[in-house]
Structure 1
Amino acid sequence: MKYKKMESSLLIIFVCILAILLFEVKGHVHASKNPTDPLPISAPVIMVPGTNGNVDRFDSLVDSLKQTEKNVDEVKITVHKDDSITSSGHFTKQTKRPIIAVAFEDGSDPALPKQSRWFQKALEYAEKYYTFNTYDYLGYSNGGLIITGYLENEQKSNDPSLYHLITLGTPYNDTSWDYNENSSTFKKPKAESPLLKYYLKNKNNIPKNITVYNIAGNADHQNSDNTVPLTSVLAGRLIYNDSEKYKEIIVDEQADHGSLIENPKTLKLIKEYLFESVK
């Protein structure tokens, strides 16, 4: 009799576990398993790091967002040198604010033009599994140059449309003081770097109906974030000044280049510009 009761109890436990597992499988759509039936999602925030950054670069930022925002989920996409793609994470029907972190096997500075093309490949990949018409973008450091190169040279007519763009510590006029003034104001470059000239060449290809927030660090009021001169970041206005809205924000505290992503003011701005609109 005791054995029968034990068997019954084990059977009930097994059925309960099976039911939980089936519910989890039904409720979650895994990017690696369902390319034929894309899941509709709200406009994702696509985050791209700077030089040699990987898909984990924004982990602390995403963790901070999850503490105050509901239903934040993340997919991570890495594009390799041979155009192949690996990914992890998934969105669900309950995901309210999807985040897609995109990085590249070759994240070096010389590969910037390729990274813009690889970003387009990442968009195509994401659209195999998720349906979205617009997206917001956060580009840290060279991540801001990657989206600029994509908009100028790589965007396809059937790609989702960019809506909000935040660039954070982006060296539009390179990092050398040979091209940049040691000043807190920007009128025109001391000299146009080859990098800036490259992105000015096709600036008219950038859609005008976007909102751009250009965030710069001014560590210890030294007109630099200790990596990128302030006037280099502000040179972004030469590229995006024709946008529907263009706004510059200078962060003075905890404004070292490597700390900009974790900066409390930066986090507040990201929430305000990228998350408030979906509440």
Structure 2
Amino acid sequence: MRHLTSWRSFGLIIGLVVLLGVPGLLWRSHQVAVVRATYKSPVAPVILVPGSSATQNRFNALVKELNGQTKTQHSLLRVEVKTNGHLVYNGAIRHGDKRPFIVIGFQNHHDGAVNIRKQARWFAIAFRALQRTYHFNHFSAMGHSNGGLVLTLFLENDLAATGATADRLMTIAAPFNLEQASATVETPLFKQLVAGRDRLATSLIVYSIAGSKSYTGDGIVPFASVNRGKYIFQKRVRSFTQIIVSGANANHAHLPENRQIVRLIRQDLLV
């Protein structure tokens, strides 16, 4: 009888220990989840995506110009995504560089909505590979022309699965309604971007820049098409700022080297 009582007492003690330990375990699990959700990696690359007909070398001059204007020299890594998903690297990220530039270009860099959607999927392949190698969980990005559409598609459709956070997005002459200059006609790609806007992170800060070579656009992309970006980002992301750049180098091809835009990249992305 005494033996049975002893076992009952022992069992009661064990039960109390387990019961008291459960809240601690739950609290610890909660803390781990909070840390994972709030921790930001020291490395936060600035990812650049060129437009159609441009390669991963498109921003060499831009990066050189930015490095000439900043005290910290930023590394430049260029990545080309082949049509089979294979990645070709050129350049390197210097150890300790917290804001390296990474340019992601595509072997198939042709124009058109079909290719833009393909490029967004290829971009996702490159992004995941870079994330595994360089262990970052947040970044900023800039896309020129169709590069802005590639980034927007990625942010809507693939970013959440990576566990990373986009801090800031800058689009330069991004034709959200493609070449359509009419304010009443909506292309299928624009409708897709609007339909996916609810998947954009509400913490995202967005800058949409339009060139003004004439009163209607930058010589290639109609201003009305760039202006459609407000229907995708406005009242969805943390902030949406639209900027019109005129003067020297305000035509479509030269916008990334425009002095005003270089200053905006330095001020708003390299932060």
TM bucket (normalised to shorter chain) is 0.7 to 0.9
Match of 2:16 in 1: none
**Cα pair distance change 1:41/1:100, threshold 3 Å:** farther
Task: Name stretches of at least 5 consecutive residues in structure 2 with no aligned partner.
Answer: 1-40
**Displacement of 1:147 after TM fit?**
1.0
Task: Name stretches of at least 5 consecutive residues in structure 1 with no aligned partner.
Answer: 1-39, 181-188
For residues 172 and 162 of structure 2, the distance between their equivalents in structure 1, rounded to whole angstroms, comes to 27
Q: Is the 8 A contact 1:41 1:93 kept in 2?
A: no
1:174-224, Cα deviation, whole Å (9 max, x unpaired): 1133xx2xxxxxxxx3221222112112221111110000000011x4220
Match of 1:223 in 2: 216
For residues 156 and 235 of structure 1, the distance between their equivalents in structure 2, rounded to whole angstroms, comes to 24
1:21-72, Cα deviation, whole Å (9 max, x unpaired): xxxxxxxxxxxxxxxxxxx752100000011221100011001011122121
Match of 2:259 in 1: 264
TM score, norm. by length of structure 2: 0.80
For residues 50 and 159 of structure 1, the distance between their equivalents in structure 2, rounded to whole angstroms, comes to 26
Q: Is the 8 A contact 1:71 1:97 kept in 2?
A: no
For residues 159 and 171 of structure 1, the distance between their equivalents in structure 2, rounded to whole angstroms, comes to 28
Match of 2:46 in 1: 45
Match of 2:90 among 88, 91, 96: 88
1:207 partner amino acid: A
Q: Which has the larger radius of gyration?
A: 2
1:99 partner amino acid: F
For residues 173 and 74 of structure 2, the distance between their equivalents in structure 1, rounded to whole angstroms, comes to 25
Match of 1:197 among 191, 201, 213: 191
Corresponding residue SS for 2:255: helix
Correspondence 1:138 to 2:131 = no
Correspondence 1:255 to 2:250 = yes
For residues 176 and 265 of structure 2, the distance between their equivalents in structure 1, rounded to whole angstroms, comes to 20
Q: Is the 8 A contact 1:71 1:96 kept in 2?
A: no
Corresponding residue SS for 1:224: coil
**Displacement of 1:89 after TM fit?**
1.3
For residues 80 and 246 of structure 1, the distance between their equivalents in structure 2, rounded to whole angstroms, comes to 33
Match of 1:18 in 2: none
Greater fraction strand: 1
For residues 98 and 227 of structure 1, the distance between their equivalents in structure 2, rounded to whole angstroms, comes to 30
Match of 1:122 among 123, 126, 129: 126
Match of 1:10 in 2: none
Q: Is the 8 A contact 1:141 1:171 kept in 2?
A: yes
**Displacement of 1:156 after TM fit?**
4.2
TM score, norm. by length of structure 1: 0.78
1:223 partner amino acid: T
Greater fraction helix: 2
Corresponding residue SS for 1:170: coil
The percentage of counterpart residues that share the same residue type is 31
Correspondence 1:68 to 2:87 = no
Corresponding residue SS for 1:250: strand
Q: Is the 8 A contact 2:159 2:165 kept in 1?
A: no
Q: Is the 8 A contact 1:117 1:150 kept in 2?
A: yes
Match of 2:101 in 1: 99
1:248 partner amino acid: Q
CA RMSD of aligned residues (A): 1.4
For residues 130 and 217 of structure 2, the distance between their equivalents in structure 1, rounded to whole angstroms, comes to 36
2:102 partner amino acid: I
Match of 2:28 in 1: none
For residues 215 and 195 of structure 1, the distance between their equivalents in structure 2, rounded to whole angstroms, comes to 19
For residues 117 and 156 of structure 1, the distance between their equivalents in structure 2, rounded to whole angstroms, comes to 14
Corresponding residue SS for 1:92: coil
Match of 1:12 in 2: none
Match of 2:231 in 1: 238
1:127-181, Cα deviation, whole Å (9 max, x unpaired): 232111100000000011001111222234334211100000000011133xx2x
Match of 1:274 in 2: 269
Kindly tell me the number of residue pairs found equivalent between the two proteins.
226
